[in-house]
Structure 1
Amino acid sequence: MDVTPGAGGSPGPAADWRAIHPRARRGTDTGDATALTTDTTRSAAAADSASLDPRDIPVVILCGGMGTRLREASEKLPKPLVDIGGKPVLWHIMKTYEHYGFRKFVLCLGYKSDLIKNYFLAYRQQVADFTLKLSDDHTPQFHNTAGDEDWEVTFAETGLLTGTGARLRRVAQYLTAPRFMITYGDGVGAINVADVLADHVRSGRIGTVTGVRPSSRYGELVTEGNAVTQFAEKPPATGWVSGGYFVFEREFVDKYLDDDPSTMLERHPLQQLARDNQLTLHTHEGFWMGMDTFRDWTELNQLWDAGAAPWRVWAD
């Protein structure tokens, strides 16, 4: 989906989520009236900060796709479980959000959902050292902290062939905060999602989409007449395209989505939101890459293996 600043404009510089509300600033006047105003302001600021605390904001991840263009790497796996550096791409996405304070995840499941559930049910056993006494009750004794991420993960069955908008609609009951994040389960980026959230709140609009400029798959020739003056290998796109990493107010689900199982988030819902001047663009100039083809998967693994993965913002 193409995104232009006309859909809401590029927001200003991002700010920490705790400090973006002017009401949180203390006044310098004195007197009882000011004291009362200050107390009221502090209460309002506290409420605003609470509503922006990433620990309480659900992150919806669309995990229902089949990955048909990635068949060489995903023939036996759902696309979100295809690995980068030995870990599912879904794990990489969740680690990015965790780095910025998010801990609640809602996974919209579809194709081979049982494999995604089983991965997390046995998650710690897969990544940590442990001892198992087979003569006892088979309760593992773990020897390190690997796999103890402070994540709360909701697994929601949203159908095999359901559209992305319909998948979101089907997890409405788990969206209990004033706003939520949502992204696709097949792309990674060096995106500060806390900044995306802060810009969204500052905009006052219902939705925010992160605009990216992915590199072209082909080299670009710059010419003067028939003379080549510059050869640019894989230049970035000149316009903004949607990289996912959305933020929506909770009302978006009820106002712009319906129960039609074919509803695609990227079509009527977002197009109508833009027409209503309720969609803001958060621009991201850094790394972003979708894992759509075997070639993409190979390139992402090469970056990871070389220790040059730009999206790896978290510490080991």
Structure 2
Amino acid sequence: MKILVMCGGRGRRLGKLTDRVPKPLVCLNGKTILELKIEEYLRQGCRNFIFCTGYRGDLIREAVRRYEDRIDAVFSDAGEEAGILERLCHARELFDDQVFMTYGDTFTNLSLAKLLAFHEEGGHEATLVTAPIQNPFGLVEFDGRNRVTSFREKPVLKYYIGHAVVRKSALRFVPDEIRRMRDGEGLVAFFKILMAMERLGAYEHTGLEISFNTPDELKMAEEKLCQFYTMSEVEDGLEG
């Protein structure tokens, strides 16, 4: 199964950090998030990549070139203004029966082998990867007469973390008006179509998950990554 990396976004909320480079080339503790992703998938034995470029695609190609002796890479460019679903559809002829799609600005230690086994067993057209997140507030629901029907204190919810396995056959359900939607709107609409057909699965990842949209979140992401690698080194030392 090929790895399809969405790396066409600019990341405007990061301000000056993405004035000259695309978001996947922003550094976390000295390494770009794209480098971290490629090296993690190589560690898991994956070497076939599709890079969906857009904003400053030339820099993405240059960064990938450093791995040319270790990976097989192809590129797909649907244009700077294309949404995520448009980029996925544009690249459909570059992968076989299915593909692992991952956002270029998100890093995880997700086991692709376990995800693929789950996806195959479920027989879904697509399988989303989710992670748990604790809502910091008490959530209240009430009826039309303002009578409280539910109160949940800081519930643990599930959210989509920008990873999915998608079968090529699923893309036949994408109408043109959805395909052309901006940013992630088209992808959400596509997932809702599959959900209505009961062909959309969800796999829960409970390990490392790092993403960022602002300079403050970038600082927190660097701290989280540092803690993860420190703990990994400690565990490796104990096992040794």
TM-score normalized by the length of structure 1: 0.62
Aligned AA (1:84): L
- 1:70-219 paired onto structure 2 within 5 Å: 70-121=14-65, 123=66, 150-175=70-95, 177-214=96-133
1:282 to 1:304, Cα distance in 2 relative to 1, 3 A: closer
**What CA deviation, in whole Å up to 9, does each residue of 1:39-98 have, x standing for no partner?**
xxxxxxxxxxxxxxxxxx111111111101112432321001111122211121222222
**What CA deviation, in whole Å up to 9, does each residue of 1:200-245 have, x standing for no partner?**
00001111001112466xx669xxxxxxxxxxxxxx9611110122
For residue 174 of structure 1, report the CA deviation from its aligned partner: 0.5
- 1:227-238 paired onto structure 2 within 5 Å: 238=156
Helix, strand or coil: the match of 1:213?
strand
**Structure 1 or 2: more strand by fraction:** 2
Any stretches of 5+ residues in structure 1 without a counterpart? Answer: 1-56, 124-146, 222-235
**Contact 2:134/2:157 (8 A) holds in 1:** no
Aligned AA (1:167): R
Q: Distance in 2 between matches of 1:265 and 1:304?
A: 31
Helix, strand or coil: the match of 1:266?
helix
Aligned AA (1:286): G
Kindly indicate whether residue 189 of structure 2 is the aligned counterpart of residue 268 of structure 1. yes
For residue 282 of structure 1, report the CA deviation from its aligned partner: 0.5
1:168 to 1:257, Cα distance in 2 relative to 1, 3 A: farther
**Structure 1 or 2: more helix by fraction:** 2
Aligned AA (2:50): V
Partner residue in 1 for 2:158: 240
For residue 188 of structure 1, report the CA deviation from its aligned partner: 1.4
Partner residue in 1 for 2:211: 290
Partner residue in 1 for 2:147: none
TM-score normalized by the length of structure 2: 0.80
Aligned AA (2:34): L
1:255 to 1:220, Cα distance in 2 relative to 1, 3 A: closer
Tell me how large the CA RMSD over aligned residues is: 2.7
For residue 168 of structure 1, report the CA deviation from its aligned partner: 0.6
**Contact 2:132/2:158 (8 A) holds in 1:** yes
1:297 to 1:97, Cα distance in 2 relative to 1, 3 A: same
Say which of 293, 296, 299 aligns to 2:220: 299
Aligned AA (2:32): P
1:286 to 1:169, Cα distance in 2 relative to 1, 3 A: same
Aligned AA (1:297): L
For residue 284 of structure 1, report the CA deviation from its aligned partner: 1.4
Select the structure with the greater relative contact order (CA < 8 A; seq sep ≥ 6). Answer: 1
Q: Distance in 2 between matches of 1:250 and 1:311?
A: 36
Aligned AA (1:170): H
**Contact 1:62/1:109 (8 A) holds in 2:** yes
For residue 303 of structure 1, report the CA deviation from its aligned partner: 3.5
Helix, strand or coil: the match of 1:240?
strand
**What CA deviation, in whole Å up to 9, does each residue of 1:114-148 have, x standing for no partner?**
11112233x2xxxxxxxxxxxxxxxxxxxxxxx57
Provide the aligned length of Structure 1 versus Structure 2: 217
Partner residue in 2 for 1:249: 167
Helix, strand or coil: the match of 1:282?
strand
**Contact 1:190/1:311 (8 A) holds in 2:** no
Helix, strand or coil: the match of 1:245?
strand
Aligned AA (2:72): E
Partner residue in 2 for 1:62: 6
Q: Distance in 1 between matches of 2:81 and 2:52?
A: 12
Q: Distance in 1 between matches of 2:231 and 2:200?
A: 28
Q: Distance in 2 between matches of 1:119 and 1:153?
A: 12
Aligned AA (2:56): K
Any stretches of 5+ residues in structure 2 without a counterpart? Answer: 139-153
1:278 to 1:152, Cα distance in 2 relative to 1, 3 A: same
**Contact 1:287/1:310 (8 A) holds in 2:** no
